[in-house]
Structure 1
């Protein structure tokens, strides 16, 4: 899926000016690469947020403001507010479509694990996979069929089915998913035992006081 953003030029300004830009719905950014000199820009906040929700690692067709036309870029870094997680700044890296790039791709788990049908608990340990490939080969996600994973089984990176042309950069022995056996519940009978002890205590007291003067 192709994504596009229109960039607007900006000057290196004060913190007050940057704050006003954000208030107008613009996100300060910078774009750089082999074919693009480091350029400060702004992009529309709503459009960027929509892109991030769909695929934060996608290739973006960035319409440059300096007349250099459109350039393929990827997001290199995002700065967010620590309190409200609002977008503060974005770094875009211009890429060459004929050169491999390193990125991460979402793992999409499909099916129901056999172990889950037996009462097991599926625990996902890895949601994204680091890969290297040509930009036009980056998948929107990598599907992982977990239907054959049984109770107590693990799924490692080296067991994933990876599309041709993609090199996995994550450790091959990293744990992707595991199915834990259900914990056995132990019956608690303390209330019944307590009632029995109370009854025994009352009987003992009656026997101890029997025959004593009132």
Structure 2
């Protein structure tokens, strides 16, 4: 029910930051640069900056992506985006974490739902409960996304994490029974209970008829 979207190794050229004054930071951002840090791998954190357009080219802001950093033209360093600070939709700072190509890592990858669920053809409603799935694997084996075919789902059917077919070398980290999608029938409003008696009936006249003096 699932196919993977292969993740090609992408490269991002960055530069070391040598100035840390407020004015230099303002100038950097004005010229389209984004301050960033790269850490991990048992080495000290490095302060760098990346071109805003280059970052947008290789990564979807705010989502974990694997690629290689080339700092001032040096050999690529495998990294993941671990944190993105934003304000008003503008990226202010990015944290990159070094990873080893020989060690499995955990990431959340997007789920891409395809097809028309069978249950929707008879009045059912497809409900998407999850847009990401946590998996584990070597960086070079990680898919950038998982395509899920929902067309077999009938009314009352559910798709859970264990039902997703993963590429070879990739294991599931999410709970097996995590609900991803389901097809439900729309709720039918229950008719209101009939009011007791006839609300429009005239009240019976009191015995004796006339008003008391």
Aligned-partner Cα distance in 2 for 1:51–1:60 = 8
| Structure 1 portions without partners, runs of 5+ | 188-196, 198-214
Contact 2:108 2:134 in 1 (8 A): yes
- Following superposition, the deviation at residue 112 of structure 1 comes to 0.9
Of 144, 148, 166, 1:162 maps to 166
Where 2:110 maps in the other structure, the secondary structure is strand
| Structure 2 portions without partners, runs of 5+ | 1-7, 192-199, 201-213
Work out which structure has the larger RCO, using CA pairs closer than 8 Å and 6 or more positions apart in sequence: 2
Which deviations, in whole Å up to 9, do the C-alpha atoms of 1:156-214 show, x marking residues without a partner? 11121122211111111111011121244789xxxxxxxxx9xxxxxxxxxxxxxxxxx
Q: Which residues in structure 2 correspond to 1:115-130 (within 5 Å)?
A: 115-130=119-134
Q: Which residues in structure 2 correspond to 1:140-159 (within 5 Å)?
A: 140-159=144-163
Aligned-partner Cα distance in 1 for 2:46–2:113 = 39
Q: Which residues in structure 2 correspond to 1:188-203 (within 5 Å)?
A: none
Structure with greater helix percent? 1
* TM-score between both structures, scaled by the size of structure 1: 0.79
- Alignment root-mean-square deviation, CA: 2.5
Of 6, 10, 31, 2:38 maps to 31
Structure with greater strand percent? 2
Tell me which residue corresponds to 1:99.
103
Residue 73 in 1 paired to residue 79 in 2? Answer: yes
Of 64, 69, 75, 1:62 maps to 69
